[in-house]
Structure 1
């Protein structure tokens, strides 16, 4: 069993969501603040890394969908709804879409170490 602890763990959609929520965050007075919700710019960065933007998904498209929620940051459940709408509008299989995001991995240049459970 100890060997399992030494193996690198593969990211899942929800662990990567947490990584992207905290990527390129403007520093605030709260130095160690962690976010559990995602900004539009972070979502777009993830889609770019997955090579889904600018084609078949555009920034205008993500912006219009994101703004329906009328909040700065989206929680994981809202994020999944956005993915569902994007997959439908772009005619991408929803499960393949999520798999593409997982395969994109953590943000390029990210130095944060994330514990995957």
Structure 2
């Protein structure tokens, strides 16, 4: 039997969420800070890479939904609610949308390597 550890690991929605949370972050005074919540610009970048933006999802839609939360960064649970709203508003099955986002992979131009456990 083949060893499962020899097979390449695949990203999940939550592992990619962690990657996008730390993508294109402006350096701060705090070195090696790791974020576990996502900015609107990072969400939009992910949707663009997944070819879900600008059609059928628009920046206006993501902005309006994101602003309901009244905070700069959204945690994973809030992110899932945003995805559900976007899927519902655009007649997309949520499972299909999540799979497209997983298939999009890590951000283009990302210079970080994230180990998937």
Please give the range of the TM-score, normalised by the shorter of the 2 chains: over 0.9
Deviation track 1:48-91 (CA, whole Å, cap 9, x = no partner) reads 00000000000000000000000000000000000000000011
In 1, Cα distance between equivalents of 2:106 and 2:36:
16
Alignment: residue pair count:
117
Structure 1 residue 99 corresponds to structure 2 residue 99:
yes
Which aligned pairs between 1:102-117 and structure 2 lie closer than 5 A?
Answer: 102-117=102-117
**Off by >3 Å, runs of 4+ in structure 1:** none
Structure 1 residue 106: Cα displacement: 0.3
Match of 1:44 in 2: 44
Which aligned pairs between 1:23-42 and structure 2 lie closer than 5 A?
Answer: 23-42=23-42
Match of 1:66 in 2: 66
Match of 2:15 in 1: 15
In 2, Cα distance between equivalents of 1:43 and 1:75:
12
Structure 1 residue 31: Cα displacement: 1.3
